[in-house]
Structure 1
């Protein structure tokens, strides 16, 4: 069984197994070089050649193509579908007493902590979030019908934080549609609570949804407008500086996604760096992980995406992620280092970085498209020993 997103060339390589490339090519009637180019994704086989390859490898032709969903597939339970039902009001009757606000607060904080630090954070979030969303939604309905303004505001704050977490989880699991809904509800809850910090955090989350949806110009515009609002908001100095800096980072990413490299670098130096120097890494205000190390990680990202791999790796050498309160950011750092090595065609270094990522965040490695692509690249390009190790890694993360 192979993953549905495994390319044709990698499927052929997988089913070829230990058979020699030149032997299979000769039996099919093509040159070994042509088969090598097919397996590396440089050539697309014609249907007759694809059929001949399938016959020789002993598999149906469909096995060498992307898997098609079954014609009659029964709905299956997933955390995302359960979250969707909870978001759309499938909760307990309003007469049911809500979970106490203090308990909700503790559960939201624990879920955030787990999401940012656990090696198996996707599994833990899948277990915790459906019930948490249901309970928060029910508590919100009860609070809005109640008469205690302090209780209502406390529930709204917990809800805003929970929705921001939900946005991050849903984006990482590919549900950008539900992530957009969660970001909107976070904004609504923060505004109803009249909480400037949470309003800023909700805007930061919405910016990330727009980036995930492939709308970097809109994300940049929203982030810059929100940063201006934060600059004059009534909140403690360190919170204001941290949220303004985090929003500026969204604008930096938006500029980089539009390939405006110099604009991204200038904004990072002029607007983000001064804020980052004033905010300790461990503060993690608004769960944004904003601080000097996070700023350095974005500098690395810009150079990596711009193809300036030497500069990116030079930047990476000076970064120490050990003090970050987020395993996700540490994972992203290692993934971008692996991507830089891959761009330089240093498959041994790329493989070493990927194996290190498997040790710290195996679920992220299995779920991240760039990570999966890098594993396939090592299989295609690497020497026999490295290719075998990458193939074993591909099995462990569910690619094959």
Structure 2
């Protein structure tokens, strides 16, 4: 792990330039090999433009490095608050490694009702992007639920497995957000295992939705899209022609992930198709209010959020910015979704040169979901870009940069 000061001083653009030089490419040669535009490479390396996710994936593959090496994740820090965020990772890794060991090696768990209440609390922390509080709960929950799956039978065992799948998903989210992609890959497999033990179509749908992210990270969009289509068909067959609100949320979330993957593949027709399918499913949402089930959010608002992110990847940044200005997220929407949208809005505003709007959106993201914003590579890079456009950065930009780099969030 790199030194804290060095990691904070570097930007995504400077890391790309460093790895490009190590690979022996000039900027023009890198453009020829990666099929990225020379102008985009220059502007990203100079800190004048935010890279898209597609740009990052392509650059990483061309340079034979990981996206995390380009973003600098996991972000090291000597701050006590940061140490607390990262502290549970070792325990989660150990528990995931020992998931199939004999039941007699494990302590006696509490009742499932008591464990379920704690899972609900952890779910609230995840939805609010409170990473420290979530991480402090997960190791014990994973340990107890693994023991329950091994020690119980019948309906109780399936319930324990469903709760375990939920916790593995939350652990996956934590590892991925903090940049531990190797652990996230392991947790993805454990989520698959637990959902199968639960014999619950919606847990299995969540596991498949999560698995598709691995293909997205690898830029294997074709396989990811095929997996999602297969998962959609299997879930639809399992829930019947009159799906519950929870099933609609899972089905819609699969469509939205297809939107993301198609847009990052720069496939305009597929993106439009999957958006259309998502909008049709959203019409089934009672009262038009987005629902949250199995940790996923779906409805007309989250569909609009994904549309904006897709337009950025398709390089329709004017459209994305216009739609971001018009979209107002309800306070009922989970903070993790609102924070993510505000970071995407920041990207769109920077792309059209509206740095004032970008700063406001980033400040709002900090207010809504401080830990998510602090550890999000695009948010961190946005601060560098905003600062680079002004010889004398505003007090607001300097304050945001200081907070991103070394200040604590004050959020548990």
CA 324–383 in structure 1, closer or farther in 2 if over 3 Å, else same: farther
Q: For the Cα contact (< 8 Å) 1:261–1:306, is it kept in 2?
A: yes
- 1:345 is displaced (CA, Å) by 1.8
Q: CA contact under 8 A between 2:347 and 2:358: conserved in structure 1?
A: yes
Alignment root-mean-square deviation, CA? 2.9
Query: Does 1:2 pair with 2:5?
Result: yes
Does the 8 Å CA contact 2:106/2:147 hold for their aligned counterparts? no
Give the TM-score normalised by the residue count of structure 1: 0.76
- 1:238 paired with 2:245, answer yes
How far, CA to CA, are the matches of 1:329 and 1:343 in structure 2?
Answer: 21
Residue pair 1:265, 1:299 contacting (<8 A) in 2 also: no
2:339 paired with 1:348: no
For 2:212, the equivalent position in structure 1 comes to: 207
What SS does the aligned partner of 1:384 have? coil
**1:307 Cα shift?**
2.1
Deviation (angstroms), 1:187 = 2.1
**Cα distance per residue 1:19-75 (max 9 Å; x no partner):** xxxxxxxxxxxxxxxxxx9x9558xxxxxxxxxxxxxxxxxxxxxxx9xx99xxxxx
Any residues of structure 2 matched to 1:32-43 within 5 Å, and which? 40=46
How many residues are matched? 336
Aligned partner of residue 2 in structure 1, secondary structure = helix
Q: How do 1:199-348 and structure 2 match up within 5 A? A: 199-234=204-239, 236-269=243-276, 271-279=277-285, 280-348=288-356
- Deviation, structure 1 residue 193: 2.1
- Over 3 Å counting, the alpha-carbon distance change for 1:397 and 1:93 in structure 2 is farther
Q: Give me the whole-angstrom Cα distance separating, in 1, the residues matched to 2:262 and 2:383.
A: 28
Q: Residue 186 in 1 paired to residue 191 in 2?
A: yes
8 Å CA contact 1:219–1:250 kept in 2: the answer is no
Compared CA separation, residues 347 and 325, structure 1 to 2 (3 A): closer
Q: Is the 8 A contact 1:171 1:209 kept in 2?
A: no
Whether contact under 8 Å (2:312, 2:348) holds in the other structure is: yes
Once residues 214 and 130 of structure 1 are traced to their aligned partners in structure 2, the CA distance between those partners, rounded to angstroms, is 31
* 5+ residue gaps, structure 2: 15-42, 49-71, 77-82, 408-412
Which protein, 1 or 2, shows the higher relative CO under an 8 Å CA cutoff with sep ≥ 6?
A: 2
- Are the counterparts in 2 of residues 348 and 382 from structure 1 also a CA contact under 8 Å? no
Larger radius of gyration: 1
With structure 2 as the length reference, what TM-score do the two structures score?
0.74
- Once the two structures are TM-superposed, the CA of residue 303 in structure 1 deviates from its matched residue by 1.1
